[in-house]
């Protein structure tokens, strides 16, 4: 699912087109370069008419047929007669007011691309799991919104999601949750939803109290908030990342710190989980190489759940690792991870028998 954003020259700072790539994989095409080749497999075109030149518009008109197969939205200002006339002259297009609330554009994009994650949920999904999934999606979207728009993080919704998800895990089990999550169109969002479910389940298995269980679920939803500064085009890329792209993605805990440092509404441990989940207990992690004694149990648990999820989830450019191999790789990481948590995770994911085998394995 990809959206092509078409504009003539650099986008203005407040153009909604700048925000879309944080919600959907999107690619920017110059107006005079539109062709079947550049549009590729785009599912929707959004044309930003602000600042377009006559030459750009003429070029776009001449290649208009190449995007005739997909829906087109033109962003215009009704007050600007020139833009309204240009949009009408293009034909076969829906116009939207550029200054309308961004949420309206998002809603329209979801409808036109059929990418509402809740719509894809299978009918057989148990009711509590479905309710938790819908709520968690609403929270993740609001989280992206607050990152992009600078609005407050909806902590009340976050806490409700965590409680709903814990309730659903208790009632329907982790596999129902993972099946529901599997239907989400974005790999990046799937990851956070999986980590949240796994973290809640592991915390329960470790005998943590309800409050701590709920906090790690919320932490799972928020842990990669720094990635919301990185366009989904990179995060959900179907091929291997370039070195520059990889370096950008690896900065997400630092972006997370930037986003969260002034957010007084967010509890301190949630911030720690977002900023420190790539730290290792032997001090070899990033971004700060924190020593183990400064890493609290909730962060240790987040790291374990994050690594297990990253290893076992499907990726477009590499095979996922089977659960058993993922656990053994995590055992091999020895002093980097809290091995008691890894053992409990093994029991949970592989059954008690396999848990006993991994417990017997020598710690590296």
**Would you say 210 or 250 has its CB closer to Fe ion?**
250
Q: How far is the CB of 163 from Fe ion (least distance, A)?
A: 22
Residues 11-70 that bind Fe ion (CB under 5 A): none
Q: Residue 141 and residue 162: Cα distance in Å, rounded?
A: 15
**Per-residue x/- marks for Fe ion, 218-247, CB under 5 A?**
------x-----------------------
**Would you say 224 or 347 has its CB closer to Fe ion?**
224
Choose one: 14-22, 211-219, 266-274, 298-306; the region binding Fe ion (CB under 5 A).
Answer: 298-306
Six token digits for residue 90? 């293009």
Choose one: 6-14, 217-225, 292-300, 351-359; the region binding Fe ion (CB under 5 A).
Answer: 217-225
**Would you say 160 or 306 has its CB closer to Fe ion?**
306
Q: How far is the CB of 195 from Fe ion (least distance, A)?
A: 6
**Would you say 74 or 221 has its CB closer to Fe ion?**
221
C-alpha distances (whole Å) from 253 to each of 140, 178, 187, 194 are 17, 25, 18, 19
Cα 193 versus chain centre, distance:
9
**Would you say 306 or 347 has its CB closer to Fe ion?**
306
Q: How far is the CB of 35 from Fe ion (least distance, A)?
A: 37
289: left (phi over 0), alpha (psi -120 to 50) or beta: left
Total binding residues toward Fe ion, as defined by CB under 5 A:
2
Give the residue among 70, 45, 1, 3 at the shortest CA–CA distance from 316. Answer: 1
Choose one: 20-28, 75-83, 172-180, 302-310; the region binding Fe ion (CB under 5 A).
Answer: 302-310
Choose one: 3-11, 111-119, 206-214, 216-224; the region binding Fe ion (CB under 5 A).
Answer: 216-224
Q: How far is the CB of 286 from Fe ion (least distance, A)?
A: 10
68: left (phi over 0), alpha (psi -120 to 50) or beta: alpha
Residues 127-166 that bind Fe ion (CB under 5 A): none
**Would you say 269 or 306 has its CB closer to Fe ion?**
306
| Strand 72-76 relative to strand 3-7, pairing | unpaired
Single residue of 32, 160, 306, 338 touching Fe ion by CB under 5 A:
306
Q: How far is the CB of 278 from Fe ion (least distance, A)?
A: 6
Six token digits for residue 169? 């895990």
Find out whether the peptide bond into 287 is cis, omega within 30 degrees of 0. Answer: yes
User: What is residue 26's three-state secondary structure?
Assistant: strand
**Would you say 224 or 269 has its CB closer to Fe ion?**
224
Strands in the chain per DSSP E: 3-7, 26-30, 44-48, 72-76, 94-97
**Would you say 56 or 219 has its CB closer to Fe ion?**
219
C-alpha distances (whole Å) from 97 to each of 48, 102, 149, 198 are 11, 10, 18, 42
Q: Is 338 in the site for Fe ion (CB under 5 A)?
A: no
Q: Which helix (H) or strand (E) holds 2?
A: none
Q: How far is the CB of 323 from Fe ion (least distance, A)?
A: 18
Q: How far is the CB of 306 from Fe ion (least distance, A)?
A: 4
Q: Residue 37 and residue 41: Cα distance in Å, rounded?
A: 9
**Would you say 226 or 355 has its CB closer to Fe ion?**
226
* Surface-to-core class of residue 49, CB atoms within 10 Å of its CB (0-12 exposed, 13-18 middle, 19+ buried): buried
Binding residues for Fe ion, rule: CB under 5 A, are: 224, 306
């Amino acid at each position: 699912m990809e959206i092509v954003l078409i504009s003539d020259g650099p986008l203005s700072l407040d153009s909604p087109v700048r925000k879309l790539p944080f919600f959907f994989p999107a690619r920017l095409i110059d107006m005079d370069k539109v062709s079947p080749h550049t549009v590729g497999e785009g599912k929707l075109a959004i044309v930003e008419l602000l600042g377009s030149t006559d030459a750009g518009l003429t070029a776009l008109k001449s290649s208009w047929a190449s995007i005739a197969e997909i829906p087109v939205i033109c962003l215009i200002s009704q007050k600007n007669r020139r833009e309204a006339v240009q949009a009408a002259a293009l034909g076969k297009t829906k116009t939207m007011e550029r200054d309308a609330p961004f949420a309206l554009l998002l809603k329209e994009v979801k409808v036109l691309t059929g990418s509402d994650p809740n719509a894809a949920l299978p009918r057989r999904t148990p009711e509590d799991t479905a309710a938790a999934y819908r709520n968690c999606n609403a929270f993740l979207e609001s989280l992206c919104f607050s990152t992009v728009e600078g609005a407050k993080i909806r902590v009340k919704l976050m806490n409700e999601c965590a409680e709903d998800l814990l309730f659903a895990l208790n009632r329907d089990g982790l596999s129902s949750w993972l099946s529901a999550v599997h239907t989400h169109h974005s790999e990046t969002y799937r990851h956070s939803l999986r980590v949240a479910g796994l973290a809640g389940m592991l915390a329960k298995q470790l005998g943590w109290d309800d409050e701590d269980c709920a906090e790690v679920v919320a932490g799972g939803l928020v842990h990669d908030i720094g990635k919301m500064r990185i366009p989904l085009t990179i995060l959900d890329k179907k091929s291997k990342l370039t070195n520059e792209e990889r370096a950008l993605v690896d900065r997400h805990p630092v972006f997370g710190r930037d986003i969260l440092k002034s957010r007084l509404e967010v509890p301190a441990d949630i911030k720690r989980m977002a900023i420190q989940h790539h730290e290792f207990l032997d001090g070899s992690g990033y971004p700060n190489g924190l020593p183990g004694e400064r890493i609290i149990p909730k962060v240790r648990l987040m790291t374990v759940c994050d690594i297990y999820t990253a290893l076992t989830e499907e990726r477009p450019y590499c095979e996922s690792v089977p659960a058993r191999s993922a656990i053994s790789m995590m055992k091999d990481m020895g002093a980097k991870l809290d091995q008691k948590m890894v053992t409990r995770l093994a029991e949970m994911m592989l059954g008690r028998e396999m848990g006993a085998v991994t417990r017997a394995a020598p710690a590296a």
